[in-house]
Amino acid sequence: MDKIFIDEVVAEMHTIQDMLRWAMSRFNDAGIFYGHGTDNAWDEAVQLVLPALHLPPDVDPAMRHSRLTTSERHRIAELIIRRVQERIPAPYLTNKAWYAGWEFYVDERVLIPRSPIAEMVANRFAPFLKDEPTRIMDLCTGSGCIAIIMAHEFPHAEVDAIDISVDALNVAERNINDHGLEQQVIPIRSDLFRDLPAGDKYDLIVSNPPYVDSEDMSDLPEEFRHEPELALASGSDGLKLTKRLLANAADFLKEDGVLVVEVGNSMIHLEAQFPEVPFTWVEFENGGHGVFVMTRAELEQYQAHFAIYKN
């Protein structure tokens, strides 16, 4: 990074608005990839500059005309340049991500929150859940963001946040503590269902497992190379974990239990391999696709199709 260039930027930029404008211009010129919580240069600039100043993205617009100290301008300019040159997603540079209106700590041990399942949580999983859930499982929890927003939405439910990665669980535990949910959300290490007590039953199992197929993995923009491959890749068809999930989920659901799984673009492979299975695909008002719902009864009815993937 050229110190002379940084010094020139710092000398000419004085306010938050100056830094936002300069960041937006730099991002447009560089043609960076968006997709970690934003889809345009302005929102990306906001996501980088404001959190770096310990301000929320929705801060009063009048604050944007506040003057910055020299050290603040240096720090922000360096982050903007790193975003462009190293293609590091903004939330990794600030260790802050917003999901469903809540703030979360993130680093390169976990994916940056972006699942459309947040919309289902806000709608309390209507019309799929019959009653208020008392036990919920978030399988492949990563940063714990989905488990945590479900705990906020269903304050009387016990939520188990499960992941195979110790690194991910350490991040999840930090977020659980930051949200004051230590008594409600429990981080558990398990290889999907394999290490869980037999006989545990849940009203709702939600999972955003790795689902990127090998072709898509090879074509991912550079920004995604900073995310843990373990949390993205799932075999040649992107369904390695999803098939195991389908084979075993019924054993952990209550009679009226519901399974919600995100598979993204791999929905094409799922439907092609299991054409007889009537997956219910969720339609989202705020964007997103590739999330299906199945009841325990449906999982049991079509168990023969998934039996070879059972643990």
**93 pLDDT above the threshold of 90:** yes
3: confidence class by pLDDT, cuts 50, 70, 90: low
| 225-264 residue pLDDT tens | 999 888 887 888 899 999 999 999 999 999 999 999 999 9
| pLDDT of amino acid 6 | 76
- Secondary structure element (H or E) that encloses residue 177, with its range: helix 166-178
Q: In what order do the strands lie in the sheet containing 158-163?
A: 185-189, 158-163, 135-139, 202-207, 253-262, 291-295, 280-281
| pLDDT of amino acid 172 | 99
| pLDDT of amino acid 12 | 86
**223 pLDDT above the threshold of 60:** yes
| Under 8 Å between Cβ of 97 and 142 | no
**213 pLDDT above the threshold of 90:** no
Spatial separation of the C-alpha atoms in residues 81 and 94, rounded to whole Å: 13
| 152-188 residue pLDDT tens | 999 999 999 999 999 999 999 999 999 999 999 999 9
pTM: 0.93
Pick the CATH number of 110-309 from 3.40.50.920, 3.30.420.40, 3.40.50.720, 3.40.50.150: 3.40.50.150
Give me the mean pLDDT over the 88-95 stretch.
97
**1 pLDDT above the threshold of 80:** no
| pLDDT of amino acid 2 | 56
Domain boundaries, the chain: 3-94, 110-309
Which residue from 208, 151, 138, 207 is spatially nearest to 178, judged by alpha carbons? Answer: 151
Spatial separation of the C-alpha atoms in residues 187 and 166, rounded to whole Å: 10
Spatial separation of the C-alpha atoms in residues 68 and 273, rounded to whole Å: 56
Q: How many CA atoms lie within 13 A of 135 on its CB side?
A: 10
- Secondary structure element (H or E) that encloses residue 295, with its range: strand 291-295
Average pLDDT of the chain is 94
Least confident stretch, 188-197, 227-236, 292-301: 227-236
